[in-house]
Structure 1
Amino acid sequence: MSDKPRLAIIGTGNMGGAMVGRLRAAGYPVSVWNRTRERAEQVAARTGATVAGTAREAAGTSDVVIVALANDAADLAAHEGRDGIVAGLRLGTPVVDTSTIDPRTTLRLAEMVRGAGGVHVDCPVSGSVSSVEGGTLTALAAGEAVDVDRVRPILESMSGKVFHIGPTGTGATMKVAINTLLLAINQGLSEAYVLAEAAGIDRDTAYDVFLSGATGAPFLKYKRAIFEHPDDNPVAFSLDLVSKDADLVLALAERVGVPVAQAQANKAAVESAIADGYGQQDISTIAKHLRELRSRSSRG
């Protein structure tokens, strides 16, 4: 029998499913719940996790709850109600929320968890599915230091770095700031890549050059395969979710009074691609969309 704490993972989408696999490989017993049970069952069959009937059941039979959901509405719905996380919490159970959501929602969820006697750690993560699988995520933990330290070994199983950002809400805020930069990198890479290609430079050569100098950010390294072969690699971060995150950036910027012209332009580019049917495709498909726009222009 494992001496590691029993974990519940709420949400088995791309990131949540990858977390299940990583934590199971590290020897943790894991129970999973997903709104669409079939997806939870697929992850469980692949990893040896067990499937809970409700979020309440998953939380009530676990020592630590990890939440990995797509947006604010899904996160709130998983916490609330007779079958929600909060209803199942035992006294002192940590809830580690890795979802990318509005910092104001994070504060609301933390209040609910603590009101039920649980412990809340606001902990979005920076990285992609491949980062989870390789244990190289960056964890942006926020809350009381003692609570962060309590779950640190679990976070370190998935992460290369665990930062304690500050009090509850600062993890979510830091993730919004990171995504401001991430979306800018993706847009800049997409434009530079297609620009070089259209001007007659070999794709592989262009990407080699982007990686070799000051522009060689980790994002470029782990996204290379899908940039070069967009139709042959799984979606890690869909444009629909990118759009949601771009809205979080713009909302935070408005609240704190920071002009973010580039973020607004990036949001517009994402919405243009979604309008052309790319919503379920990866963030890297912005490059593919630029090629389409160029083709249209040349025909018109």
Structure 2
Amino acid sequence: MARLAFLGLGVMGGPMAGHLARAGHEVTVYNRTAQKADAWATANGGSAARTPREAAEGAEAVLACVGNDDDLRQICLGPDGAFAGMAPGSIFIDHTTVSAAVTRELAAAAEAAGIAYVDAPVSGGQAGAENGALSIMCGGSEEDFARAEPIVAAYAKICRRMGPVGAGQLTKMANQIAIAGLVQALSESMNFAARAGLDTAAVVEVISQGAAGSWQMVNRHATMAAGQFEHGFAVDWMRKDLAICLATAEQVGASLPVTALVDQFYKEVQGMGGGRWDTSALVARLTR
């Protein structure tokens, strides 16, 4: 069992850190809102730190799951950042969905300090984090991945090295591109079925068993039909991710016409006051 630090206790990070504690690791947590870190420590038997540096001191591995590029830089760099407290030979494992550019920037800073770095964004949403069944896509050297894998196994359904540093983030972009198109297609399908006078639940039961089936269809059709959008990843965060996808597509010469269109549909959902609704809220703009 290892001495670990976990930075960021949102809807994903909190449960992930809990799985590490239940696996027997000694876990110190940091959160921007100190009360949340204190509450986690009380509930899970770990300890809370007031700065990322304090949390990282003495840790064999530091894990993070925060909001965006700037948040990640803030917890890593500077006199109170995690890198300042990490010892040479320790490893930083980042579960945040960020740009590949900031990943490479921070990996270079870590390397200069003798710290290993693995980018390890996750997919599976809040339910996956709570159930310990996340898909984890990693970037880093084979040696560093081999060190990270047994730690993150506490909440992984699958964990795979996708290539060098940054490859995990690029794979997560592919994941978000696929999800955006799937949710929009499901929204259109359900709206069409309802307006055509069909029983949408019966339609989904039939078509989910064929080529149209998807995780989104099986797990979100009922809540979408009920107008319930409190079941996972928020629209605001999805737009952040899609912005990264679209910017990276420009850099690599990939065409993402459907993704660009769905991003604008999510913008409409934000305009409806649905920034904190989950990503299946795309159906709301069709049924209003």
TM-score by length of 1: 0.90
Label 1:169 to 1:130 Cα distance change in 2 as closer, same or farther (>3 A): same
Distance, in Å, in 1 between the alignment partners of 2:206 and 2:86 is: 51
| Map of 1:263 onto structure 2 | 259
Distance, in Å, in 2 between the alignment partners of 1:51 and 1:164 is: 31
1:230 is displaced (CA, Å) by: 4.3
| Map of 1:78 onto structure 2 | 75
After TM superposition, the runs of 4+ consecutive aligned structure 1 residues lying more than 6 A away are none
Distance, in Å, in 2 between the alignment partners of 1:189 and 1:6 is: 44
Report the AA paired with residue 215 of structure 2. Answer: P
Distance, in Å, in 1 between the alignment partners of 2:129 and 2:92 is: 19
Structure 1 segment 1-300 matched on structure 2, within 5 A: 4-224=1-221, 226-231=223-228, 234-292=230-288
Work out whether residues 89 and 117 of structure 1, in 8 Å CA contact, stay in contact via their aligned partners in 2: no
Distance, in Å, in 1 between the alignment partners of 2:45 and 2:217 is: 33
Distance, in Å, in 1 between the alignment partners of 2:25 and 2:238 is: 31
Work out whether residues 230 and 284 of structure 1, in 8 Å CA contact, stay in contact via their aligned partners in 2: no
Q: How many residues align?
A: 288
Label 1:225 to 1:7 Cα distance change in 2 as closer, same or farther (>3 A): farther
Distance, in Å, in 2 between the alignment partners of 1:155 and 1:284 is: 28
Work out whether residues 12 and 39 of structure 1, in 8 Å CA contact, stay in contact via their aligned partners in 2: yes
Report the AA paired with residue 136 of structure 2. Answer: A
Distance, in Å, in 2 between the alignment partners of 1:77 and 1:153 is: 27
| 1:167-212, Cα deviation, whole Å (9 max, x unpaired) | 1111111111111111111111122122212222223223323432
Residue segments in structure 2 that go unaligned for 5+ positions in a row = none
TM-score by length of 2: 0.94
Partner SS state of residue 165, structure 2: coil
Residue segments in structure 1 that go unaligned for 5+ positions in a row = 293-300
State, as a whole percentage, how many aligned pairs show the same letter. 32
Distance, in Å, in 2 between the alignment partners of 1:163 and 1:245 is: 21
Label 1:284 to 1:20 Cα distance change in 2 as closer, same or farther (>3 A): same
Quote the RMSD (CA, aligned, Å): 1.7
| Map of 1:298 onto structure 2 | none
